[in-house]
Amino acid sequence: MANITFPDGNKKDFDKNSTGLDIARSISDGFARNCIAMELNSEMVDLNTKITEDANIRFITTKEPEAIEILRHSASHVMAQAILRLYPDARLTIEPAVEDGFYYDIDMQPVSEDNFPKIEAEMKKIIKEKLPITRKEVPKKEALKFYKDEPYKLEMISELDDHTISFYEQGEFTDLCRGPHLPNTGFVKAIKLMKVSGAYWRADQTKAQLQRIYGTAFFNKKDLKKYIHFLKEAKRRNHRKIGEAMELFSFHEEAPGMPFIHPKGMVIWNILIDYWRKEHLAAGYTETKTPIMLKRNLWEQSGHWDNYRENMYTSVVDDYDYAIKPMNCPGGMLIYGNRSHSYRELPLRAGEIGLVHRHELSGVLSGLFRVRAFHQDDAHLFMTPGQIQDEIIGALTLSERIYGTFGLGFHIELSTRPEKSIGNDKQWDVATEGLRSALDVYGKEYIVNEGDGAFYGPKIDLHIKDALGRTWQCGTIQLDMSLPERFDLSYIDRDNEKHRPIMIHRTIFGSLERFFGILIEHFAGKFPLWLSPVQAILLPINDELVSYADEIRILLEKENLRIDVDSRTESLNKKIRDAQLDNIPLILTIGKKEKESKTLSVRTLDGSVKYGIAHNDFIEKTLEHINRRKLTFDIF
């Protein structure tokens, strides 16, 4: 008998060589039907794996977070099987499951999305056949013989150190794979092929070009439909499209990966920076500015020259090597080290919105989300060990307040000491416990990523959540035990002796350009009134009222409102429609009646219309709405 321990601590004996499916059925047939795999002694395995000794078991049902990756891995095999049925000369390579689906790199004739319906139809046939998916292990020599006519699989097997190679079979289809997989193809309830692109074997341009076919899969059609809707909504919110339509920014071949911010974009940009400055001033921060280009010896001292050189832009000036800064930190260390400090001055909080440059490969550049030149809202906090908790709570509170202003939620992840790190055990224990205790006092749930910290210290990452539920890692709070040591920073403590300060790196926006892009997609271009580059547009209903509309524009601009006048000879309906397409929050109609009564007819971007609003009333309520940085359009 094999004694099986379940996650709740219960134990039960089963016949040796019972499979996971047998044990699941002993619980109930309904439960077994929802199981797709199992965790056997902390290893993920197929449900039909035989259990030959005492073991701990956790079943993976279709509801478990691990299930979707297993599903998509099996779906990639279904796709490969369908392609081989339709294109027998195709040669398979690799098929990973990725975040939102899967892909398979295949050496075959070029295909396009026009071929997808035919491939999907064949995939659905395979799914309907409910072919059992079974694992087979063979000696490496036998595996090489089996794949003697498959050059890519042959190459992969040859490189493996394993003496035993695992295959997975479903019907006539066999593939090299570690698994685990679904019990049968019928579990793939909903599939869709997404796109096709070119890829080189082993990412080597000298080798064969392959067809990379992407797909996705879900356990039910409802989830697939929801995902397709999400993709359409994400496409509608694409910040590059909206940025171009609203004339916020652009990119040019003369500076790849370096955005050009247009006048309307600069309105939003400056509002973000002004707000950042106001909040930081209120939180006890000072602001600094460091040079964009510094000598090589500084980057050697900071460690960047040895560890980050390939991402830095360099130059030679007067026979000296210089580098354009990829981050603001070393300059901040020079400012702190410029004079001596007393413990009475600590904590010191210094922020900088500095322009940094990092060389990114052209293939990974992506609008404002991945650029080569960006502004980082760094802050460096210097403190004594006893101040760590309060400073971290302060940074978290400030981050929450700023994110909340934009309607962004966030979750927290704590990353601890990695295998390769500097500092001793005591330093790491003090630093990590400082972060952990601060998070406990802060009271918000957090995830611990063991061993995922920076080499110079543990860190807290803040992942914001946008209107579509996507998460973006923007903020970070990092304890650094390296730079204070490298720059010999110190303060005089109560004992009149020099001590090394604790230093925290902290960002909230992260890359300001990236945060700008996130906001564009978060609001879908429909910025709240306080952020909108044009807050209101005046629409005179005929040419005779254009001069009066200009008078109202001047009146409103004196109150620092951002106003346009649409003086085109177009119908009122067209002007309203164009203003809505331009995402202007307030559309003010000026007719004869409004002129005589000195009122405004106001249409807000959410579709509500109010008539007969007096000028003073409009100004008072609009300014109150702006000053409160409200996100809705409930102004009147």
CA 619 to chain centre: 39
* CA distances for 203 relative to 96, 158, 177, 239, 270, angstroms: 15, 19, 20, 29, 42
The 10 Å Cβ neighbour count of residue 315 is: 10
Reading the block at residue 463, the tokens are 């992942």
Among candidate residues 341, 505, 522, 625, the one labeled active-site is 505
Is 136 tagged catalytic? no
The active-site residue, picked from 105, 377, 378, 461, is: 378
Spot the catalytic one: 380, 417, 436, 553: 380
Measured between alpha carbons, how far is 222 from 278 in angstroms, rounded to an integer? 46
Gap between the Cα atoms of 37 and 25, Å rounded = 13
Per-residue tokens: 484: 């204070």
Assigned token pair, 101: 């689906």
How far from 472 is each of 318, 410, 465, 514, CA to CA, in Å?
Answer: 42, 9, 7, 10
Helices (H), 531-613: 546-557, 572-581, 592-597
Q: Which residues of 118-134 are buried (b: 16+ CB within 10 A; e: fewer)?
A: ebbebbeebbeeebebe
CA distance linking residue 293 with residue 324, whole number of Å: 4
Spatial CA neighbour of 166 closest among 148, 181, 151:
181
State how far the Cα of 528 lies from the Cα of 466, in Å rounded to an integer.
15
The SS3 of residue 344 is helix
Helix-then-strand count for the chain, H and E: 20, 35
Q: To which residue do tokens 């007969």 refer?
A: 612
Q: At what angle do helices 388-405 and 425-442 cross, to 10 degrees?
A: 50
Distance CA 509, CA 405 (A): 12
Give CA–CA dist 38/605, Å, rounded.
51
Catalytic residue list contains 459 = yes
Given the structure tokens 């992840």, which residue do they identify?
413
Per the CB < 8 A criterion, the answer to whether 249 and 243 are in contact is yes
d(CA 380, CA 383): 10
Q: Which strand (E) or helix (H) includes residue 620?
A: helix 615-627
Work out the angle at residue 162's Cα, subtended by the Cα atoms of residues 159 and 165, and round it to the nearest 5 degrees: 95
User: Annotated catalytic residue: which of 77, 329, 417, 575?
Assistant: 329
Which among 81, 376, 389, 478 is annotated as catalytic?
A: 376
Return the structure tokens found at 514.
């990236």
Among the options 358, 375, 506, 625, which is catalytic? 358
- Provide the 3-class DSSP secondary structure of residue 207: coil
- Please provide residue 347's backbone torsions phi and psi, each rounded to the nearest 5 degrees: -80, 150
| Residue 567 CB partners (closer than 8 Å, separation 6+) | 540, 543, 546, 549
Region for 303 from its dihedrals, namely left if φ exceeds 0, alpha if ψ lies in -120 to 50, beta otherwise = left
Active site residue 380: yes
Q: Could you tell me the CA-to-CA distances from 314 to 34, 253, 273, 284, 307 in Å, in that order?
A: 58, 21, 28, 35, 15
* Residue 574 and residue 588 in contact, taking contact as beta carbons nearer than 8 Å: no
* Catalytic site includes residue 148: no
Query: Can you give the length of the chain in residues?
Result: 636
304 catalytic, yes or no?
A: no
Reference 459, options 469, 473, 471; nearest CA is: 473
Catalytic residue among 72, 459, 506, 522: 459
Q: How many CB atoms lie within 10 A of CB 159?
A: 7
Active site residues: 329, 358, 376, 378, 380, 459, 505
